[in-house]
Structure 1
Amino acid sequence: MTVIQIILIAILVITSLLLTLFILLHKGRGGGLSDMFGGGITSNLGSSGVAERNLNRITIIIALVWFFSVVALGILQRFAF
């Protein structure tokens, strides 16, 4: 296993955990699984429109980093000798 693969695996693990955390931080829209676990009782105390937009941006950036690390690991695995 090369150093690049170890770094990519570490990035993949970290981004996976962060992606899970950021997805769980999103406000529930209602009508889905979030209602089943108490998301139906909403309050506007914890989130604002700007905070939600910033959380969306961060989540998308983390998801792109995760995606490209998966692709890079796949390419390295495919062409490893």
Structure 2
Amino acid sequence: MDLALLKIILQVVLAVTSLLLVLLVLLHKGRGGGLSDMFGGGVSSSASASGVAERNLNRLTVTMALIWGASCVGLGVLERFL
């Protein structure tokens, strides 16, 4: 595989996972205190998500963060050594 193509693929993966991470973090339920209460997060405590949905959201967020980190490292290695 050409190195320029690999670099473009990693840049696209980085951009897509960056956007997904922002969206996934915004979907998380506020834990109280801080910015989530300022924007009305404390008011909707009765409409909380189920435990399974929150756990799946956590897993998806961590997976996206790992993919994001791996693409950052991959781009760094490409820039440094190749």
Q: Same fold (TM over 0.5)?
A: yes
1:22 aligns with 2:57: no
Q: Which residue of 2 aligns with 1:11?
A: 13
Consecutive unaligned residues of structure 2, counting only runs of 5 or more, are none
1:43 aligns with 2:45: yes
Length, aligned pairs only: 80
Give 1:25's aligned amino acid.
Answer: L
Give 1:13's aligned amino acid.
Answer: A
Give 1:58's aligned amino acid.
Answer: L
Identity percentage of aligned residues: 61
Distance of 1:60 and 1:76 partners within structure 2: 24
Consecutive unaligned residues of structure 1, counting only runs of 5 or more, are none
Kindly report the root-mean-square deviation, in angstroms, between the aligned alpha carbons of the 2 structures.
Answer: 1.3
1:54 aligns with 2:56: yes
Provide TM-score, normalisation by structure 1: 0.93
